Amino acid sequence: MALHGGFKSRRLKVKEKLTKEKAMITKADKGNSIVILYMDDYNRKVANFISNNSFTLTTRDITNKLQREVKTAIEACREVIPKEDRWRYKNLNPTIPTIRGLVKVHKDDYPIRPVINWKNAPAYKIAKMLTKKLLICIPLPYTYNVKNTTHLINDLKEIPYNHNLRLASLDIANMYTNIPTGELVTIITKACQNNYIEHNLRHDISKLAETIIEQNCFQFCGKTYIQSEGLAMGAPTSSIFSELYLQHLEVQKW
């Protein structure tokens, strides 16, 4: 008991010191570890991420505008959302999603990976529903994807080896924010056509996708930022939207 009490006492002293010096404890981006850093440093890292990407500060409260757009889409999409179920997809007290950062301790200057909580966003419920609908209506081939390291090794064994062979590893920086959304709705519509989705359902899927893509904003330190390009970070649909776009680039046949 004495040992436990001593540990608890030390923990409280550390917490009190961190509070007094305005420091914080957060999870690291990778690995089961934590990071302790000053609040000023944390805020600077998040601010650097915001300033280095296509985000625009707005002084307007756009929550009501986004909520009206979601309600309009729900009313218009009668094939996907029956009248008796419309209430299920309306967030009654929505707020703008908030951003926080996980520190990348494995990189120079320890930048952050943005994490955005979309659960109370106006379009969260329709985004979850649309993700499930797309997985059913547009089964993706995943022709050039690998499931795990073993799958990759087995694929590489099939490639004839010689001394001139070079293996290149490419990464996408901030993938969601760099997915061009201008042609994404057209890609989704064509994918629906290729899978023989009937007209009304195809229209509703495209309408919901367009609405969700436009709901692209977040808050930090009480300020609201609009993301002018790319997919919304934290949105349930961003994963499948980005996969649809990347597979479209791979095959170029939709």
Instruction: Parse the chain into domains and list their residue ranges.
Output: 2-251
Examine the pLDDT at 16 and tell me if it is beyond 70.
no
d(CA 180, CA 188): 13
Q: Maximum CA pair distance of the chain?
A: 71
Give dist(CA 32, CA 182) in Å, integer. 38
- What are the φ and ψ backbone dihedral angles of 37, each rounded to 5 degrees? -150, 160
Closest by alpha carbon to 141, among 191, 178, 196?
191
Phi, psi (rounded to 5 degrees) for 223 = -110, 145
* Rounded Cα–Cα distance for residues 97 and 92 (Å): 15
How confident is the prediction for the chain on average, in pLDDT? 88
pLDDT for 31 equals: 81
132-148 per-position pLDDT tens digit: 999 999 998 888 888 88
pTM of the model: 0.83
Reported as type and span, the H/E element at residue 217 is strand 217-220
Three-state DSSP at 141 gives coil
Per-residue confidence (pLDDT) for residue 106, from 0 to 100: 84
Q: How many angstroms separate the CA atoms of 45 and 29, rounded?
A: 13
